[in-house]
Amino acid sequence: MLGTPMTFSWPLIVLTLAASSVEHSVDALSITKAFTKIGERFYYIEEQEQQSWYTALSSCRRMGAHLATLKSEKELYDLDAELRIRNQGYWIDVNDLDREGQFVSWTTSSPSPYLKWKAGEPNNLYNKEHCVDIWDGLMNDDDCSDKRYFICQAGDGI
């Protein structure tokens, strides 16, 4: 970087401004991760490093974002069209950690505004599936400690 600061300043400013609009505290992750507009919202899709649901939750928060909350079939459809890896799960913020079978959004603590399950799901396999991922365009309850790709959504709201 020595001698070429201007090369880096413009994209850093743009990304920092984008991140600042969702949260005041911006750390290094915020300016290294790009959020993409898909439909009406901005998402960051992690499909290189798989993480547990809990770690993914923290990773999104460190970006000033949250695990994605889906509100409609269109949001699910638009988002899924951008997921490049098939036959793998991507964590979203839906979970039934508090009460079995009651799927809430972590972000709002309210019942998930939209659910669309794969056939046979949610099955709470081995009584330990309490976190939800998108798997080939549909939702599945899964073991929160399993490592999956994940989707962050910018902003405090859903």
Residues in contact with Ca ion by CB under 5 A are 96, 121, 123-124, 129-130, 140-141
Smallest distance, Ca ion to C-beta of residue 89, A = 10
- 154 closest CA partner among 48, 30, 2, 5: 30
Q: Which is nearer to Ca ion, 9 or 124 (CB)?
A: 124
Compute CA distances 102 → 55, 93, 128, 137, whole Å. 22, 13, 14, 21
Q: Which helix (H) or strand (E) holds 57?
A: helix 53-62
Q: Which is nearer to Ca ion, 59 or 140 (CB)?
A: 140
- Tokens 């009584």: give the residue: 127
Smallest distance, Ca ion to C-beta of residue 145, A = 13
Smallest distance, Ca ion to C-beta of residue 140, A = 5
With H, G, I as helix, E, B as strand and everything else as coil, classify residue 13: helix
Q: Which is nearer to Ca ion, 4 or 127 (CB)?
A: 127
Q: Which is nearer to Ca ion, 2 or 119 (CB)?
A: 119
Smallest distance, Ca ion to C-beta of residue 27, A = 32
Smallest distance, Ca ion to C-beta of residue 128, A = 8
Compute CA distances 22 → 9, 12, 38, 153, whole Å. 21, 16, 17, 10
Q: Which residues contact 137 (CB under 8 A, 6 or more apart)?
A: 76, 77, 80
Q: Which is nearer to Ca ion, 9 or 123 (CB)?
A: 123
